[in-house]
Amino acid sequence: MSLKTIEWKDNSVIMIDQTKLPNELLFVTCSDYKQVANAIKTLVVRGAPAIGVSGAFGLALAALQSNASTKEEMINDLNSAKNVLFETRPTAVNLAWGLEKIMEVARSCKDPEEIKKIVVETAKQMADQDVKINMTMGKHGSKLFDDNDTVLTHCNAGALATVGYGTALGVIRASKESGKNIRVIATETRPVQQGSRLTAFELKHDGIDVSLIPDTAVGYTLANNLVNKIIVGADRILKTGHVFNKIGTYQVALLAKQHNVPFYVAAPLSTFDLNSNPEDIVIEQRKSSEVTGIGEKKTAPDDINVINPAFDMTPPELISGIITENGVIMAPFEETIKELFAAN
């Protein structure tokens, strides 16, 4: 059974502390929205779908914490909490989606007590729906994978990046559940090592055959025909088909194109941003210490300049297909994305 990353229990948010993996499987409890915001910022919880639900749960906690006596006061309290939560990870569109969904239902309520009740119910429904969406996406995507495929994945788009089951790893799980023999090669995903700490951990936990490679060995792996297909998740997909995902995704896609290996992206409809253009997206810049050291060990000179973007952009011409809960779309993405949402 795959891990459950986040859940609502006794008016608190329980989440796996992903900074402690793979050494310890620890759970943290958040009883107010500022704790949730800190958990998102410090990568205790991460992955676009997971932080979308975390944001929703954070606003539910803010509603319960509020002493507002009128609807207007409650909406103001929620807006303040929303701003704090949004600033934690601005590149991942699911966070904005989760926050706005809660604000929408709050605005439709008549008084503070109804808001408290409805936003908690809505956030819990969003968590349940996330798992169902991932399982449906997995079934659609599994049709693209064959028995005895070896699949490369970058970063962590598994159960730990969602409420449960996963997006890219959900497709791998569904392929295995359908009776296919699937092997996985995971990149370590520097500098925070989500591949080695999280993807390798959860696949091993689920009994799926996984091998780990350094990020620098992707070219070697493809050139030596060690991989049949590649699948990654996404933090934001534009109406043009441009995909924003963990730093390093772009170079994996370039190498896939060079070696004629299909490159797939798995993401729910909540990850799509139909309003922005590529130049509008702000790429989150992470702290330099993630690059200059590993744990407590220093691996670079003092006072060295560091460029540490969290994400990069993969253009649509490098993408073989995008897997969603409503099916798989292929190029021309500007047209197929429009059709996908028109039919939804």
Tokens of 189: 């995903």
Question: With the C-alpha atoms ordered 60, 65, 66, 67, is the resulting torsion angle positive or negative?
Answer: positive
C-alpha 75/C-alpha 328 separation (Å) is 38
Give the pairing of strands 236-238 and 272-273: parallel
- What phi, psi does 39 have (nearest 5°)? -65, -40
Q: How many CA atoms lie within 13 A of 314 on its CB side?
A: 32
Q: Count the Cβ atoms, other than its own, within 10 Å of residue 293.
A: 13
In whole angstroms, give the CA distance from residue 209 to residue 202: 11
Q: How far apart are CA 250 and CA 85, in angstroms?
A: 28
Choice among 209, 235, 273, 280 that is catalytic: 235
Spatial separation of the C-alpha atoms in residues 130 and 165, rounded to whole Å:
9
Please give the single-letter amino acid code of residue 172: I
Active site residue 235: yes
| CA pair distance 81, 100, nearest whole angstrom | 12
Nearest to 44 by CA among 86, 14, 83: 14
Interacting residues of 181 by C-beta distance below 8 A, sequence separation 6+: 147, 148
Please tell me the distance from the alpha carbon of residue 229 to that of residue 248, in angstroms, as a whole number: 17
Catalytic sites, residue numbers: 235
